[in-house]
Structure 1
Amino acid sequence: MTMRKIWQAVAMCLLMLTGPAYAILPAAPETEAGEPAPAQLIEPEIVPGEDERIAKRLRGIYGVLDHLSAVTVEVEQGVVTLNGALASQADIDEAEGLADQIDGVVTVQNKIERDVSIGENLGALGSLSERFTDFVKFLPLLGAAFLVALLISLLGYAIAGLRGFWRRISPNVFLAELIASAIRFVFVIGGAVIALDMIGAGALLGAVLGGAGVIGIALGFAMRETIENYVASLMLSLRQPFQANDHVLIDDLEGRIIRLTSRATVMMTMDGNHLRVPNSTVFKAVITNFTRNPQRRFDFELGVDAEDDPTAARCLGVSVLKELPFVLDNPEPSARIEQVGDSNIVIRYLGWIDQQQADIYKARSRAIHAVKDALENNGFALPEPIYRLRFDSAAPLNFEGAATMTTGEKPKVERPDKPVRPPLPDEDVSPVTEISEMVRAERAADLGDDDLLDSERPIE
């Protein structure tokens, strides 16, 4: 749910960025819905002198326009016929369009031909020369705009380069780098906006920002996992769910924390191997921290014979656990009947230790040994599983030499007396520090500043 909210926030930010860009884009011309305009009606009678008026008007217009001066006009019954040769198709279309706009014109017969001679088409070179001259005149303004954009960008890089300041005001190095990158981005975009406004290309800026917004959305979906991991790194650096050298269980991955980077959480497993877990996985995983609370409970199961007293077995096991020096008195050890099977009664024994004084695996092993010996020394049997066999064959089974069983009372099995074992010697159950020392040595040898763990900040 948290990652979904983050993605929604990112989408809203992209929409807010592309909204202003869309607002400054030139609006598309609106088309009026409705029926097409009716065709122009032709007068039933000829107005005297109308053809001469149309021809005179068109000749005057074409004479003013140098590129259309070669067009000749003939008008008869309102039908305009254009002749001549022009250098480009655009000029031909323009001449026809002007004739259509004259009042009284019934239709236009465009007989103008394209003049492909070299002399007539050299005018394009003159136009190119004029454009080059205009570009040369535009260069000082372009250089000034580029210089302004460069100075603003350099100012942003200079402000972002104050790493010491940003690290003092931010919780960690990762967030400081994020702030510096945001400042550089804002100043570069600001410089580009001012430069484009100076050269009169504001509409181009809107189109660029709109395209950048669309590309950003596409890249966001394409790089979803990368962005998710990046956001998870930021959240973990702020929330600090664990400290360095903490013994944790992340889903089914157990080990001690070495460092938290901007991409992954580095752990050392209990086998001494390095393990890199993506931060997106860590952020969504169930984390069990064994170091946060030094008190930890261990438990184990033992089965006694079905004919033995389970209450006496429970009390005996609890008393043995209380006598062990590494088992805490508060919380007290306890025992409960877990299940009753066909051949035994399963009892679960529970005890607490201080992980700073005892290792969980050593303590559990020592407790199992002690309780097992105490039960056996006091006459409790720890039977093996018993299986019942059923023979469905109709033919009788002939067991040669098998003893005949009577249907009387079940004979009581006499248990041989077992020698009482001497008390167990004191075993070392102190915590194993090999992995912890390896982690401490590796952190001391790594002088990099990419560790996002901060022992001075509060943790969850």
Structure 2
Amino acid sequence: MIRLLLPLLILTAAAFPAAAQNTQAPEAAPSPAIAADQVSDSDDRAIAQRIRAIFAQIDSLRAIRVDVRSGVVTLTGSVANAGDGDRAEAIAARVAGVVTVENRIDRDLAVDQNLTPALGQFGADMRALLRALPLLGVAIGIALLIGALGYLLAGRDRFWRWIAPNIFLAELLQTSVRFIFIILGLVAALEVLGATALLGAVLGGAGVIGIALGFAVRDTADNYVSSLMLSLRQPFRANDHVVIEGKEGRVLRLTSRATILMTLDGNHLRIPNSTVFKAVILNYTRNPERRFDFDLGVDADDDPIEAMRVGLAALAALDFVLDTPKASAVIEQVGDSNIVLRFFGWVDQQHTDFMKGRSLAIQATKAALEGAGFALPEPIYRLRFDEGTPLPLTRAGGSGAGQRKPRAATPGGDATDTRPESHIEKLVAEERAEGGENDLLDESKPVE
């Protein structure tokens, strides 16, 4: 039984490839050719008549002569446009029974043959334009009407400033409304003209140009967005004493392009808003209480704890030094010849100028330490003398030797006046009162 089934299985396996070959998809049929009077033979005369009949229906191909021999088509004559010769060759090649096409068509360079068709086409275009003028006028009128409506709506300054948090954002919204209505007017005009397909090409080209311009004006766009964010966040107020990227001054105004400071020297400083938005901003005005510090050294043999007690007592005696937080002191460094002490104190900048207060605090602490017998040592230098080098000798003088310079009297008057300097603040207030560029700082908005 097995011997009978084995040959049967082998024959069945061999039959499957043949069946698969027979079930393959048929090849794609070639594109249908132009029939020559619906005849099946490739008669040269029928082919020539068919090609001449086709050329007779095309004005630019009527002058072409056709000769057919054994299925080979030869085209002769002249045409005004080189493209017409290629067109005639392509048409002849599609006729059934054509083996190949010999293109011997020459370009006719005669002025009348080339100028007359161009003038005729130009005249036809002008006539078509004249017929389309009424429709074109209607389309332009619709576009202008929609654009004017957009400008009218965007011109309502009071409305946009009511819905926007600041002037800068209101102007941005107004510009966006104008642009949107212009696009809507253009779309409506093209819809009337039946050329909406042109809009896609225009917008596509505008998108590519926009990307290129975006890379070209990247810094300008960055600065514009930074201006918008600063106007919303309000990081400082006018007349605040700030330090931005190492630049110190009082805030004059925030414009759509830059933050303007008045330096402590009375000069104008413009910082791009992109720099301000990314910078670390130090604001001395937000918290009026500010800490100062300074270093003083005492002799290495002195008691540093006692020196700190004396110095802190001197700071506490100053009326401009705040009691809370209290003044403090630490041992900053122990050197070969001295011990460096660092003192800390707090002042209220609304009533005390920071630099003046610090200066008087240093003077008072130094005087207290010297009055308590603490020496403020001078630096010690070690000198080496080479052998055989004579030392310069000076004769010890009379009055200058061994005498100590008398201590200067305690300063008074303007030197002890710690009131804040208000000249820069007045200059800022006067310039802000004069107006100028639009200020994006808004006192009614919360500060970040």
Q: For residues 329 and 335 of structure 1, what CA distance do their matches in structure 2 show?
A: 14
Deviations 1:379-421 (A, max 9, x none): 1111111112234x466988989xxxxxxxxxxxxx9999999
2:168 is the alignment partner of 1:180: no
Within 5 A, what are the aligned runs for 1:356-371? 356-371=350-365
2:95 is the alignment partner of 1:106: no
Question: Quick check: 77-86 or 337-346, which moved more?
Answer: 77-86
Q: For residues 387 and 110 of structure 2, what CA distance do their matches in structure 1 show?
A: 117
2:428 is the alignment partner of 1:439: yes
TM-score, normalised on structure 2? 0.82
Asked whether the 8 Å contact 1:377–1:421 carries over to 2, the reply is no
Q: 1:86 to 1:336 in 2, by over 3 A?
A: closer
Q: CA deviation at 1:91?
A: 3.2
Q: 1:330 to 1:60 in 2, by over 3 A?
A: same
Partner of 2:149: 155
Structure 2 unaligned segments of length 5 or more: list them.
1-29, 34-39, 395-401
2:61 is the alignment partner of 1:68: yes
Partner of 1:283: 277
Q: 1:94 to 1:293 in 2, by over 3 A?
A: same
Asked whether the 8 Å contact 1:377–1:419 carries over to 2, the reply is no
SS state at 1:350 partner: strand
Question: Higher relative contact order by CA 8 Å / sep ≥ 6: 1 or 2?
Answer: 1
Within 5 A, what are the aligned runs for 1:282-431? 282-391=276-385, 393=386, 427-431=416-420
Q: 1:304 to 1:157 in 2, by over 3 A?
A: same
2:145 is the alignment partner of 1:140: no
Partner AA of 1:433 in structure 2:
S
Q: For residues 297 and 225 of structure 2, what CA distance do their matches in structure 1 show?
A: 51
Partner of 2:265: 271
Q: For residues 162 and 49 of structure 2, what CA distance do their matches in structure 1 show?
A: 83
Deviations 1:51-107 (A, max 9, x none): 232223223323344443344433222222334444433333333222211111122
2:191 is the alignment partner of 1:197: yes
Q: CA deviation at 1:150?
A: 1.0
Q: 1:322 to 1:51 in 2, by over 3 A?
A: same
Q: For residues 223 and 284 of structure 2, what CA distance do their matches in structure 1 show?
A: 25
**Of residues 435, 441, 445 in structure 2, which corresponds to 1:453?**
441
Q: For residues 345 and 391 of structure 2, what CA distance do their matches in structure 1 show?
A: 53
Q: For residues 231 and 280 of structure 1, what CA distance do their matches in structure 2 show?
A: 8
C-alpha RMSD of the superposition? 2.9
Q: For residues 53 and 368 of structure 2, what CA distance do their matches in structure 1 show?
A: 126
Structure 1 unaligned segments of length 5 or more: list them.
1-36, 41-46, 402-414
Partner AA of 2:347 in structure 1:
I
Q: 1:61 to 1:312 in 2, by over 3 A?
A: same
**Of residues 85, 90, 103 in structure 1, which corresponds to 2:83?**
90
Partner of 1:80: 73
Deviations 1:210-259 (A, max 9, x none): 22222222222222222221111111111111100111111221111111
**Of residues 252, 255, 265 in structure 2, which corresponds to 1:258?**
252
Asked whether the 8 Å contact 1:303–1:347 carries over to 2, the reply is yes
Asked whether the 8 Å contact 1:303–1:382 carries over to 2, the reply is yes
Deviations 1:320-354 (A, max 9, x none): 11111111111000011110111111101111111
SS state at 1:144 partner: helix
Q: CA deviation at 1:169?
A: 1.3
Q: CA deviation at 1:109?
A: 2.8
Q: For residues 49 and 355 of structure 1, what CA distance do their matches in structure 2 show?
A: 109
2:43 is the alignment partner of 1:50: yes
Q: 1:57 to 1:434 in 2, by over 3 A?
A: same
Q: For residues 350 and 373 of structure 1, what CA distance do their matches in structure 2 show?
A: 17
Partner AA of 1:81 in structure 2:
T
Q: 1:342 to 1:69 in 2, by over 3 A?
A: same
**Of residues 201, 210, 219 in structure 2, which corresponds to 1:207?**
201
Q: 1:66 to 1:357 in 2, by over 3 A?
A: closer
Q: For residues 245 and 67 of structure 2, what CA distance do their matches in structure 1 show?
A: 92
Question: Quick check: 104-113 or 420-429, which moved more?
Answer: 420-429
Q: For residues 198 and 184 of structure 1, what CA distance do their matches in structure 2 show?
A: 21
